[in-house]
Structure 1
Amino acid sequence: MIMKNFVKSFMLVSLAIFATGCNNSRDYKSNSRATGWDLSGRDGGVSYKTDYEEQEPGPGLLFVEGGTFTMGRVQDDVMRDWNNTPTQQHVQSFYIDETEVTNVMYLEYLDWLKQVFPPSEERYKNIYTGALPDTLVWRNPLGFNENMVNNYLRHPAFHSYPVVGVNWIQATEFSQWRTDRVNEKRLADKGYTARDAYKTSSAENVFSTETYLNAPNQVYGGNDSITKGGRETDRKLRNNPDSTNVYVQRKDGELLPAYRLPTEAEWEYAALGQSSLRDYNSYRGRKKYPWDGQYTRSGDRKTIGDQRANFKQGQGDYGGIAGWSDDGADITAEVKSYEPNDYGLYDMAGNVSEWVADVYRPRVDNEYNDFNYFRGNVYTKNAITEEGKVKVLSADEVVYDTLSNGKIIARNTPGEIAQVKIGEEETYLRTQFSKSDNKNFRDGDKSSSRYYDERSTNDKDKKMYNSPDHAVTLKDGELDREFDKTSERTTLIDDNVRVYKGGSWRDRAYWLDPAQRRYFPQDMSTNDIGFRNAMSKVGSKSNKGRRTRN
């Protein structure tokens, strides 16, 4: 009897201690460590997301834990073109698409644009047509490729193939569209906006993530029945009709960071997938391809002899002899046709090369930055009206770019916030940056600077990157294209060429090395360059916190 009472008493005491510990833990998270105030938002007080755990990955993305690696270390350098600078870099954790963006993914974008901004209306015409991939990239004067011209983008047989004919600018615009559509659906699913709000978009009734965060009363054309039409927002209003915090804010953690093109460092790090070579805090050996081993054929017992990627094996040999030894593709292949790398990413070598975010330069300046290296920063801020409000673009204020090839592309869409370059208010007495456009920052050492003679910076002939300047002007409502015919140009490099990585179906195995890099004008496209999206990881470096060694 005494023993029985003792057990009961022990259990009650343990439960009390456990409950107290839980309460203390809960109080610790919901009360401010600075002031002791309640941070849960009860009784109309200030509210913070005190129970936030980890960022959710966006649709289609896989997690890549950041770390240190040697960027630009190629195994072979037969070109000897001074195109790489091996440098140790540290990359923060991020998410990246499991596969390249496919035709059906891009078609979803096109159909949305066509529905929301009908090209039959003159003021919207270039929004849709400017997003269309160039299907003529398949044509060749000595090749019969009309099948791909007519069918590759839209035929369902090619739905799961990587989209091509998309230039760098179109890829970045797709990324912005994808950001907004994903966040728009998240808000509706979580009850912050009206149910299925994302299915009722129109030119005057469109969602933008940044507009919602900065001017929520102007999103959806200012329609409160949508922005305040969700069950969660309705609950907030019932509890506190005068609340100004009914809209989701960045501090709530509900909206995902932007989809974007990966930086060159991120792409190369993800493609290498060196986790299989990790030995404590170093790598044992070097990888030539995204897979282990020095060969393009598999050495695994189950798949021995199979090609590990889709690439050009020799002159006139795009797939091998039909049958067992064939790689299964002549042009592009359906995504996931080959084994993924150690991060679970498909086609990080072969199939199509991929755009990355960086402006191309022959060397990487590791002496100045070895953390999240990227060349191409142009810092902007929201445009503010005379009334002190952010300027949300109307249908008549969309900014269009006329590219060097005459193609007209919309650089924003109605409902987005206008952007302007930062000025002295943001740069004054800064130690890290001093201007808005940093594409040419520390552009090599003195002997490889942007100008041969710094005293003649206004003389175009002294510029190192004196690339062709093809003029496109509008005369009497018609585009006038003037091809640069001068014979004095010495390079194709300028601020409008971007890096692309990874070999393609048209490339030899030499280009499958993730460290290899090439460049192409950002406003042009080919039949062997596609892209995939990335997303920054916020919070901890690891998804599971710090791990023990054993």
Structure 2
Amino acid sequence: MKPHFALKMLALAVISFTVASCSKSNDYKDSSRGTGWKVDGKNGGFKLKTDYEEQATGPGLVFVEGGTFTMGKVQDDVMHDWNNSPNQQHVQSFYIDETEVTNGMYLEYLDYLKKVFPPEEENYRNIYKGALPDTLVWRNRLGFNETMTENYLRHPAYANYPVVGVSWIQAVEYANWRSNRVNELILEEQGYTARGARFDVDASSTFDTETYLNAPTLTYGGSDSLARGGRSSERRMKQNDSTNIFVQRSDGILLPNYRLPTEAEWEYAALGLTELRSYNVYRGRKKYPWDGSYTRSSSRRTRGDHLANFKQGDGDYGGISGWSDDNADITAEVKSYEPNDFGLYDMAGNVSEWVADVYRPIVDDEFNDFNYYRGNVYTKNAIGEDGKVKVVTTDSIVYDTLANGSIIARDLPGEILQVPVDEDETYLRTQFSTSDNRNFRDGDRRSTRYFESFNDDAENPDSNKKMYNSPQHRVEQDSAGSVERRYDESNNRTSLINDEVRVYKGGSWRDRAYWLDPAQRRFLPQGMATDDIGFRCAMSRVGSKSKTGKRAR
């Protein structure tokens, strides 16, 4: 009996020690591991959020767990572009829209701009006008498409169809607007801003996420009653927590910005490789976002139907009468086809989609194979003479004149003015040395065959010996506001590639099945739009790679 009793006592001691250890661990959770001081923020001490769980999923988004995959060509290159050679890449976890941005979603954006920046006022006219999709993309000199020109964007019959006629720049501006509206709602719902604050605004009192985080007193045009008029802000003031009245990045409440997905992210999400995984390796490759090598369904119920909306052959955009195999002749309503393994719809067919990257014929995996992206232009907040950030006002809106003469607002009132990084940020750095890195290692002077490090003339920015000698159209505006378009008439141009062309991915309703392969890539100037290119937004993931932790083998 004694040995048995001793064994019981030993087990009880082990359990008691474990409980005590857990208790100590839980107590220690609220204390600094560096100093032992409390991190609850009381009595003027340091405050650290210790109960943060994970990033919330933003409206419309689906979580995509990152990983390693083969990016690039997986079938014959019948176009002989040689621009998608296979290369191994790793993508961090991220979120991406479940569907393409629809006409209804984009009309919400236009409605906001029209109310806050009335286009009948001269100062704001180009804000709304610059955001309008180009409905004339539907016109064809030998086709009757006026019905789409007049109805596709605004008619309720097309509300749930992907928006088209949107340039890359317009897609970026929509993503910026969406970021602010989502975070503005979060602050109101959690009681930090006044109820209804998001409706009680005009051009001089808008909300911007970065302004709120960097200069919260300038949010809503400096209106304290709106910026901190919620119950949570009042509670913090009553607790004499004057240093933390406004939500900060360290609170983990606000979401990262919506943006366009990178090319690597889009291709990884489109492939949906989860079903091919065998432990930590892939068992094969995929030709399309769905399983198999064919574009028609093999299930009994839908056998013979196409799995995406694309052009089957000459003059065949949707099958014959009585047997519409893809149920569409132009675009189709989103979610008309089954999602891929990540739960994403229309990652092949319907419309092609803009991605964030500047186009180059190669993906430079020798330089980087982690979160690959070409297009970085690093900026910083502009600081005024008073030492505070410069916020764009109604009198200092920043516009961008595109190559086709269109004028688009790039910095709206309430946003922090951005300027290129300079030597303060680049001096003695090894990662980057300039603000604009779009042509790094492929298009800059050092990457041309004419570059000579010992020849000073090689560093001349006016040198005509460029790697990509693309047309240089110019648009000039005189003092009276008249626009003069000057086309490049040179006969010496050798390429359409420059730093203003962007990649778009995925096949569309106009494309043959060849383009449905997620590895295929094409490019178009960032200010142009077509009737078969749309977009969807993405968002970076902060914190853990997985939502479920490491899975058991």
Aligned match of 2:358: 359
User: What residue is the counterpart of 2:474 in the other structure?
Assistant: 471
- Which residues of 2 match residues 378-457 of structure 1 at below 5 A? 378-443=377-442, 449-450=447-448, 452-454=450-452, 456=458
Letter matched to residue 540 of structure 1: S
Partner of 1:230: 230
Q: CA deviation at 1:470?
A: 1.1
Listed as ranges, the gaps of 5+ residues in structure 2 are 1-8
SS in 2 for 1:198: coil
Partner amino acid, structure 1, of 2:66 = G
Give the Å deviation of 1:353. 0.3
Q: Structure 1 residues 325, 120: CA separation in 2 closer, same or farther (over 3 Å shift)?
A: closer
Which amino acid counterpart does residue 439 of structure 2 have in structure 1? N
* Mapping for residues 114-125 of structure 1, pairs under 5 Å: 114-125=114-125
- 2: CA distance, partners of 1:376 / 1:20: 53
Structure 1 length-normalised TM: 0.94
**TM superposition shift of 1:527:** 0.4
Question: What amino acid does structure 1 have at the position aligned with 2:110?
Answer: L
2:193: which partner in 1?
193
Q: Is the 8 A contact 2:130 2:409 kept in 1?
A: yes
Alignment of 1:483-502 (within 5 A): 483-502=487-506
How far is 1:492 from its partner? Answer: 0.6
Q: Is the 8 A contact 1:29 1:51 kept in 2?
A: no
Q: CA deviation at 1:300?
A: 2.3
Contact 2:207–2:219 (Cα < 8 Å) also in 1: yes
Counterpart residue number, 1:169: 169
In structure 2, what is the equivalent of residue 4 of structure 1? Answer: none
Which of 422-431 and 87-96 deviates more?
A: 422-431
For 1:406 and 1:233, locate their aligned partners in 2 and report how far apart those are by CA, in whole Å. Answer: 46
Identity within the alignment, % = 69
Deviates more, 1:227-236 or 1:497-506: 227-236
CA distance in structure 1 between the aligned counterparts of 2:294 and 2:27, rounded to whole angstroms: 58
Give the structure 1 partner of residue 520 of structure 2: 516
For normalisation by structure 2, the TM-score amounts to: 0.94
Supply the distance in 2 between the matched residues of 1:111 and 1:198 (Cα, whole angstroms): 14
2:276 is the alignment partner of 1:277: yes
1:352 to partner: Cα distance: 0.3
Q: Which residue of 1 aligns with 2:300?
A: 301
Q: Which residue of 2 aligns with 1:3?
A: none
For 2:158, the equivalent position in structure 1 comes to 158
Q: 2: distance between equivalents of 1:412 and 1:40?
A: 38
| Structure 1 counterpart SS, 2:395 | helix
| Corresponding residue pairs, total | 538
Partner Cα separation in structure 2 for residue 460 and residue 180 of structure 1: 42
Q: What residue in structure 1 maps to residue 74 of structure 2? A: 74
1:525 aligns with 2:529: yes
- Give yes or no for contact 1:103–1:153 (8 Å, CA) kept in 2: yes
Partner of 2:374: 375
Q: Does the aligned pair in 2 maintain the 1:76–1:510 contact within 8 Å? A: no
Aligned in 2, Cα 1:529/1:251: closer, same or farther, shift over 3 Å?
A: same
Which residue of 1 is the match for residue 509 of structure 2?
Answer: 505
Q: Give the Å deviation of 1:73.
A: 2.3
Q: SS of 1:147's equivalent?
A: helix
Cα pair 2:74 2:285 within 8 Å, conserved = no
Structure 2: how far apart are the matches of 1:238 and 1:62? 39
Does 451-460 or 66-75 show the bigger shift? Answer: 451-460
The residue that corresponds to 2:50 in the other structure is: 50
CA contact (8 A) 1:472 1:481 kept: yes
Q: Distance in 2 between matches of 1:238 and 1:15?
A: 43
Secondary structure of the structure 1 residue equivalent to 2:477: strand
Hey, what does 1:538 align to over in structure 2? 542
| 1:20, distance to aligned residue in structure 2 (A) | 5.1
SS at the partner of 2:356?
strand
The root-mean-square deviation of aligned C-alpha atoms, in Å, is 2.1
Report matched runs for 1:15-94 at 5 Å: 23-94=23-94
2:263 & 2:450 partners in 1: Cα distance? 27
Shift of 1:368: 0.7
Say which SS state the counterpart of residue 30 (structure 1) adopts: coil
Give the residue type in structure 2 aligned to 1:106: Y
Contact 2:30 2:39 in 1 (8 A): yes
Could you report, residue by residue, the CA deviation over 1:340-393 in whole angstroms, capped at 9, with x for unpaired residues? 000000000000000000000000111110000000001100000001000011
In the other structure, the counterpart of 2:148 is 148
